[in-house]
Every structure is written in structure tokens, then in C-alpha cells.
């Protein structure tokens, strides 16, 4: 009996270690200049063993009962050849976005940060170019990237510019629900307690579900006709809401008291409050898991472009509410 207990403990330890490994990106065939894949390399015995171990490891991860949903975010980084939308002018990634990433890494140790440089490692067939030269709005591109990641790997996707305190409960809900959503849709009034109208800045899903497949399909259609993106599909709802109402997946919804988008008077918090210097009177500070700052609107608002010019020292010395929120230990 004692031996059996030790064996069970050993199995659980092994499954835990396997789960903590990052998901293995799919193997990619690299084409030659003529577009024909290179001839497959003849593997040595050692390489064959490594390939077998890798396949076994990947299979175990898929059926592992201790599997922990992954947390993903995205940031566009500058390179020598082009400037990108999350990089202001040629100054690199704005201080605020960098500090949001730092806080995510602190509070979500296994965070996977997607960038234009590593997307293909996880999604070899992802065809949308992620840079400022794209005609596709940044928000649509990121939504499509997240839906594609969730289709293949599942997990929780968090938009850039989100202040993350604790998403452990959201991750645990993904074991029992097809999708996990937060907050209220920016396009719908009084959406603070309506699971049909979440925001799309944070979304969690199990892998390869009918819901996430349909979400991705609609986003791809919109990319083919980008002008349709700003047209409400039905009932004054956005794309995510439309699909939730259409498919009715099993859903766990964290209301606006969890995502910092409403105040104690149940009013939407305007961008000016996030960008101000006064403390925000959140709907329920004790329940705050994240603060969903609408990064896309912030980037498009001309009067706040000074915010992206701030140096690290200037940001630290400021009395901005966003700086205070990044420093809070909730």
C-alpha cells in the first residue's frame, strides 16, 4: 500500500512538471526559395529519440488532468525595418505598456508574451501581418490573434495595457466552463451585470471549442471586409456578444466589479479618469482582479499622445492614477 502511494505521488509530480513546461510550438517546414520544402534531414539516433520524447511529452500535456490553462498577452516591439502601433514614433514600447507587462509577469509567472517575432512559432499558418503597415485596425488584429491562440492552445488572453492583479480564479473556471469573460462591452450602456455583453479585452476559452472557432471565423470575415467592423451586428451588440447570444456556450462571467470598468455609482469609468490624477472610486475595490484600460481608444486619442512620450523617470515621478494602480498591492 505504501509503495502504491509513492507511485501515485510520483505520477502527480511528473504531471505537474510537464504542465509547467511551455506549450511546444508546432514543427514548421521551411520552404526553399522556389517555395518547395527542403528535403527532410536524416535524423541521428539521438535526434530520433528526442523527437519521440517530444511527441510523447506533447501527448501527455494534452491529456494531463493537472493541466493548467496558459495566460497569453501580446506586445508589438520595434525592429530596424519598421515602426509598429504599440510603439510610439521610434521610441520603442511606451513605458506604460512595459510596466503592464512587468506586472503581468510578476502576478502570472507562466505568462506567454506573443510578439511579431514569435507568433509563427505558435501559429505557423497565421497570415495577418502584425505591424503598423497593416490596413487592419490593431484591435481587430489582436482579437484575431487571441482567437487563433485559444483555438489551438486554450487559456486566458489578456490585452496589452491591462493591469493584472490576480487571475487565478479565472484560470480555475476554465476547467469547468467553455469560456470565461470579464466586464461590460464599451459599446453597450448599463452592461455591468450582463454576461451577454462582456468586453473583449480579456477572454478565456478551452481549446478548439465551437465557440472560439466561430469567433475566429467571424473575425476573419471582418478582416476581409474591415469596414463592417464598426457596424453593430444585432441588438446593438459587438462581435463577441453576438456569438455568445447565438451559441450560448457554458460561460463564467466576472462582472464589472472585477475588471475596474465601472465606478461605485455603476457608471462607466471614462478614459479621462484613468488618465487623471485623482483616485478612482471603483465599483468594488476588494474584488478587483484586473483593470481593463481600453488600450485601443487610448492609442487613438490625440490629446493623450503626450502619455506615450513619457520616459521611465517621468512616469515614475508623475501622480497619474495609472501609475498608482500599477503600484497597488490588491
CATH for 69-327?
3.90.550
pLDDT score, position 25: 53
Mean pLDDT of 286-292: 93
CA–CA separation, 229 and 138 (whole Å): 12
Identify the helix (H) or strand (E) that includes residue 254: strand 251-254
Q: CB neighbours of 162 closer than 8 A, spacing ≥ 6? A: 73, 100, 104, 201, 202, 290, 291, 292, 293, 295
Mean pLDDT of 245-260: 94
- Proportion of the chain above pLDDT 90, given as a percent: 50
HEC sequence for 202-214: EEEECCCCHHHHH
CA–CA separation, 273 and 291 (whole Å): 12
Domain definitions of the chain by residue range? 69-327
Q: Does position 140 have pLDDT exceeding 60, yes or no?
A: yes
pLDDT score, position 17: 52
pLDDT bin (cut points 50, 70, 90) of residue 92 is confident
- Proportion of the chain above pLDDT 70, given as a percent: 70
Convert the pLDDT of each residue in 161-201 to its tens digit.
Answer: 999 999 999 999 999 999 999 998 877 766 677 888 899 99
pLDDT bin (cut points 50, 70, 90) of residue 5 is low
Between 167 and 46, residue with greater pLDDT: 167
Asked which of 161-170, 183-192, 202-211, 259-268 is least confident by mean pLDDT, the reply is: 183-192
Q: CB neighbours of 135 closer than 8 A, spacing ≥ 6? A: 226
pLDDT score, position 212: 96
pLDDT score, position 234: 43
User: In 10 A of CB 305, how many CB atoms?
Assistant: 13
Asked which of 102-111, 191-200, 225-234 is least confident by mean pLDDT, the reply is: 225-234
Residue with cell 476573419: 220
Amino acid at each position: 500500500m505504501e509503495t502504491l502511494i509513492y507511485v501515485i505521488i510520483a505520477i502527480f509530480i511528473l504531471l505537474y512538471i510537464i504542465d509547467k513546461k511551455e506549450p511546444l510550438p508546432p514543427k514548421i517546414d521551411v520552404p526553399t526559395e522556389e517555395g518547395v520544402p527542403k528535403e527532410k534531414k536524416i535524423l541521428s539516433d539521438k535526434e530520433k529519440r528526442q523527437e519521440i520524447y517530444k511527441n510523447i511529452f506533447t501527448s501527455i500535456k494534452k491529456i494531463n488532468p493537472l493541466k493548467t490553462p496558459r495566460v497569453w498577452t501580446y506586445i508589438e516591439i520595434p525592429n530596424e525595418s519598421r515602426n509598429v502601433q504599440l510603439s510610439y514614433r521610434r521610441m520603442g514600447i511606451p513605458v506604460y505598456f512595459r510596466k503592464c507587462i512587468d506586472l503581468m509577469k510578476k502576478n502570472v509567472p507562466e505568462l506567454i508574451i506573443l510578439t511579431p517575432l514569435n507568433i509563427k512559432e505558435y501559429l505557423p499558418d497565421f497570415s495577418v501581418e502584425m505591424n503598423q503597415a497593416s490596413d487592419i485596425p490593431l484591435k481587430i488584429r489582436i482579437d484575431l490573434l487571441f482567437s487563433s491562440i485559444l483555438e489551438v492552445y486554450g487559456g486566458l488572453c489578456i490585452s496589452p495595457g491591462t493591469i493584472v492583479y490576480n487571475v487565478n480564479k479565472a484560470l480555475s473556471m476554465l476547467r469547468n466552463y467553455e469560456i470565461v469573460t470579464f466586464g461590460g462591452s464599451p459599446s453597450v450602456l448599463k452592461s455591468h451585470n450582463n454576461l451577454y455583453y462582456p468586453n473583449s479585452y480579456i477572454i478565456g476559452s478551452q481549446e478548439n471549442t465551437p465557440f472560439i472557432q466561430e469567433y475566429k471565423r467571424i473575425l476573419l470575415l471582418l478582416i476581409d471586409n474591415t469596414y463592417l467592423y464598426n457596424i453593430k451586428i444585432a441588438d446593438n451588440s459587438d462581435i463577441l456578444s453576438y456569438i455568445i447570444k447565438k451559441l450560448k456556450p457554458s460561460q463564467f462571467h466576472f462582472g464589472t466589479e472585477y475588471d475596474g470598468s465601472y465606478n461605485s455609482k455603476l457608471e462607466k469609468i471614462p478614459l479621462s479618469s484613468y488618465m487623471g490624477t485623482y483616485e478612482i472610486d471603483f465599483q468594488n475595490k476588494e474584488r478587483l482582479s484586473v483593470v481593463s484600460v481600453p488600450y485601443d481608444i487610448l492609442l487613438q486619442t490625440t490629446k493623450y499622445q503626450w502619455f506615450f512620450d513619457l520616459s521611465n523617470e517621468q512616469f515614475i515621478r508623475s501622480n497619474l492614477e495609472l501609475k498608482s494602480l500599477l503600484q497597488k498591492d490588491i
